[in-house]
Structure 1
Amino acid sequence: MKFATKAIHSGGEPDKETGAIMPPIFQTSTYVQSSPGKHKGYEYTRSHNPTRTRLEENLAALEQAKYALVTASGLSCMSLMMHALPKGSKIICGDDVYGGTYRLFTTVFSHLHDFEFIDTTDLKAVEKALKEKPKMIWLETPTNPMLKISDIKKISEMAKKYKVMSVVDNTFMSPYFQNPLSLGADVVVHSMTKYINGHSDVVGGCMMTNNKKFYDAVWVLQNSMGPSQSPFDSWLVLRGIKTLALRMEAHQKNALKIAKWLETHPKIDSVVYPGLKSHPQFKIAKKQMSGFGGMITFFIKGGLKESKKFLEKVKLFALAESLGGVESLIEHPAIMTHASVPKEIRTELGIHDNLIRLSVGIEDCDDLIQDLEAALKKI
């Protein structure tokens, strides 16, 4: 089956008992057993739930994986993965990552593991780091918020050479535009809060892999520690996934048009979007991605004063954290999503006070451009 078909039908079979075309929500905490220890595969919803099982089957199909595990949030999924590694593990991480990822690694797990942050677009730097035999290399590609693109295939090959587990946070592209496992990565993770769910009404995370040993270790931790996703939230994500292919095409169409428009605007200093030929890793993007997504980063002419004034004047674009919903969002990473990253590191990465991040929604693109134009006229 092709992607759009799998998005609707994998894990979405009609209910066997009633024939209901929409799978029911199994809103239950526990399950009746016919005899002590004899059950139908479900004992307690923290461990397993039929609605969550359907979602995991769907996600595994979309990322071409054997195993999928969903959690209460993206960060809880990452936390379980960190706990699954031996204490004192060396972990190589991209230097430009989601602020929550950076905070989790440098505060909560800094006493447990040794983290090194490098520019993963630099293959020489990557190989140098891998030669030290870390346990894991953690990639975001495209990165948040600078949209840098790392070569998943080449890095995965190097990681295998040095027997290092490779993990790719695929949140920005969704399984529709990029499949890291097929490019050689060992594990792929998503914040399902974003494009996978797509409606800004659920918080969730997931991990997909073909590595049964690692999957089993993470599942045991989830069962023991408890950050499982609720049946209702699992059902909402299953519902959102049905339109993932349509939504991603619409996000990309609007984002490309807006990015090209921004490039020509006199009040814009520069634009970063994977679908622009001006992007430093445009060729890699075309090679490993089937599309360019709905995220745009741009720099307005001016500083914090101009940025704030611009952000206060938009109407259709909602000034809010998060991304990937059907509605367009706009934010200021230095103050909002990446405030937990120290200022000196933000400056080093290029996250300046005039940087604006767009999550382009699926509204009429002309209306979105008019909104941005009207706000830019105010500065």
Structure 2
Amino acid sequence: MEPDKGFDTHVVHGSSMKDQFGSVTFPIYQTSTFRFESADHGAQCFAGANDDFIYTRINNPTVRELEKTIAMLENGFDGIATSSGMGAVNTVYMSFLEAGKHVICHETCYGPSRSMLENQYAKFGVQASFVDTSKIEEVRSAIKDNTVLIFLESPANPTVTVTDISAVAEVARQHDIPVCVDNTFCNIVLHSLTKSLNGHADVVAGMIVTKTEKLYKKLRPVMVGLGCCMDPNQAFLVRRGLKTLPLRVKQSQESAWKIAKFLEEHDKIAWIRYPGLASHPQHELCKRMMKGPGNMMSFGLRGGLEDGKRFLDSLKVCVLAVSLGGVETLIQHPASMTHAKLSPEARLAGGVSDDLVRLSVGIEDVDELIADLSQALEKI
């Protein structure tokens, strides 16, 4: 990013790309293909001699502006937009994994990210180890001669476990292994734009940001070949949502603080994990590594699964739905929803217990959210 401009300013104004008419808001180029100036121009485009546009599966001005903006915000080399967060995950997997190769993955990452390795890539001879990446010795011990990728989330979904990314990156550098971090920073950054960056629960989209040109050139052709490209209308909506990111994060984070403290003191809550609370196992690491504790938390209810269902069914303001990071407060039960495809043993090993409830705090009136949680807790 330009040193004379802050993050909030860059979020609003974006990359240096401009359209030919000087639009303040970068427009939607809703076209599948682009006209060449001549036969030679078309040949040059396909030869990679310029950055001109060919076909929207390959590149598109609206999508390109979003890619450049997010890469700038991440201080990365460049971005690769995808049609979904899982499109981004699979682009990374396909770029590095092959028969006989090994990947280290956080044991409680997003359910589909793990299940793809266990149920799909394993069929083609890819080996995977699932470890608690917040414990650096587990990462170090899992490295093999054929390890080609370390894939992690921090905070992890849905346990809100925090990994020391710098420590993992240092171990990875010693073995020349690339690190992909879902939603933060390293060699490769992966975002589900569906979540906080868009923030309005109206788009499914993903983004990869690479640290180097070499990694960019390795990943981009895979995305193009897979056909998981982002639609220009998707890109426009994400770019619009991105402009209010700082305001939304500030509001939801302030509310999350208050809700976390309320839940921690409630007698029907068995435990709570929120990075802003001193009770979080990696609280000090969170303070050192994160600018704020965020809006995500998980907690356990005293009582059995039926009490949990009764609690969720009694909520009136909080929305019972998957996903996270939207303007609305979303709540769900990972063991029976997002992580249901994992075996009970894998869920338990990763800390996804049957009593775990995941809460993504939105921007509604915080007193109304607390009152809603309170009345639902009284029903169990």
TM-score band by shorter chain is over 0.9
Shift of 1:343: 1.0
Give the corresponding residue for 2:41.
38
Give the corresponding residue for 2:118.
106
The letter for the 2-side match of 1:149 is V
Give the corresponding residue for 1:352.
353
Asked if structure 1 preserves the Cα contact closer than 8 Å seen for 2:102 and 2:144, the reply is no
Shift of 1:293: 0.9
Asked if structure 2 preserves the Cα contact closer than 8 Å seen for 1:92 and 1:137, the reply is yes
5 Å-filtered alignment, 1:317-332, equals: 317-332=318-333
| Deviations 1:54-78 (CA, angstroms, capped at 9, x unpaired) | 0001100111111110100111111
Rate the CA distance shift 1:315–1:86 in 2: closer, same or farther, 3 A.
closer
1:6 aligns with 2:33: no
Give the corresponding residue for 1:260.
261
User: How many angstroms apart in 1 are the aligned matches of 2:344 and 2:63?
Assistant: 40
Shift of 1:130: 2.7
Give the corresponding residue for 1:279.
280
Give the corresponding residue for 1:219.
220
SS in 2 for 1:84: helix
- TM normalised by structure 2 equals 0.93
1:56 aligns with 2:67: yes
The letter for the 1-side match of 2:207 is C
Flag as ranges the 4+ runs of structure 1 deviating above 3 A.
12-15
Give the corresponding residue for 2:79.
68
The letter for the 2-side match of 1:99 is G
SS in 2 for 1:279: coil
Give the corresponding residue for 2:177.
164
SS in 1 for 2:270: strand
The letter for the 1-side match of 2:270 is D
SS in 1 for 2:123: coil
**Alignment partner of 2:140 out of 105, 112, 127:** 127
Asked if structure 2 preserves the Cα contact closer than 8 Å seen for 1:130 and 1:164, the reply is no
Asked if structure 1 preserves the Cα contact closer than 8 Å seen for 2:273 and 2:298, the reply is yes
Asked if structure 1 preserves the Cα contact closer than 8 Å seen for 2:252 and 2:363, the reply is yes
Give the corresponding residue for 2:168.
155
SS in 1 for 2:364: coil
Asked if structure 2 preserves the Cα contact closer than 8 Å seen for 1:133 and 1:163, the reply is no
**Alignment partner of 2:107 out of 90, 95, 98:** 95
Identity of aligned residues (%): 40
User: How many angstroms apart in 2 are the aligned matches of 1:22 and 1:12?
Assistant: 12
Give the corresponding residue for 1:19.
22
Give the corresponding residue for 2:239.
238
5 Å-filtered alignment, 1:162-201, equals: 162-170=175-183, 179-180=184-185, 185-201=186-202
Shift of 1:37: 4.3
Give the corresponding residue for 2:208.
207
| Deviations 1:21-58 (CA, angstroms, capped at 9, x unpaired) | 11110000011111124157011111010000100011
1:28 aligns with 2:3: no
RMSD of the TM alignment (CA)?
1.4
User: How many angstroms apart in 2 are the aligned matches of 1:204 and 1:267?
Assistant: 37
- TM normalised by structure 1 equals 0.94
Shift of 1:216: 1.1
Shift of 1:227: 0.7
Bigger Cα displacement from structure 2, 221-230 vs 126-135:
126-135
Shift of 1:132: 4.1
How many pairs align? 366
Give the corresponding residue for 2:93.
82
SS in 1 for 2:208: strand
SS in 1 for 2:335: coil
Ranges in structure 1 where 5+ consecutive residues have no aligned partner: 171-178
Rate the CA distance shift 1:191–1:42 in 2: closer, same or farther, 3 A.
same
The letter for the 2-side match of 1:240 is G
User: How many angstroms apart in 2 are the aligned matches of 1:230 and 1:86?
Assistant: 27
Asked if structure 2 preserves the Cα contact closer than 8 Å seen for 1:131 and 1:162, the reply is no
Ranges in structure 2 where 5+ consecutive residues have no aligned partner: 43-50
User: How many angstroms apart in 1 are the aligned matches of 2:40 and 2:131?
Assistant: 49
User: How many angstroms apart in 2 are the aligned matches of 1:167 and 1:221?
Assistant: 16
The letter for the 1-side match of 2:179 is S
Shift of 1:246: 1.0
Asked if structure 1 preserves the Cα contact closer than 8 Å seen for 2:269 and 2:300, the reply is yes
1:334 aligns with 2:335: yes
User: How many angstroms apart in 1 are the aligned matches of 2:147 and 2:53?
Assistant: 37
Shift of 1:350: 2.8
| Deviations 1:156-182 (CA, angstroms, capped at 9, x unpaired) | 011001111111111xxxxxxxx52xx
Shift of 1:315: 0.6
SS in 2 for 1:79: helix
Shift of 1:122: 1.2
| Deviations 1:120-141 (CA, angstroms, capped at 9, x unpaired) | 1111111122354511111111
Shift of 1:12: 7.0
| Deviations 1:202-251 (CA, angstroms, capped at 9, x unpaired) | 00111111222221122111222211000000000000000111111111
User: How many angstroms apart in 1 are the aligned matches of 2:248 and 2:351?
Assistant: 30
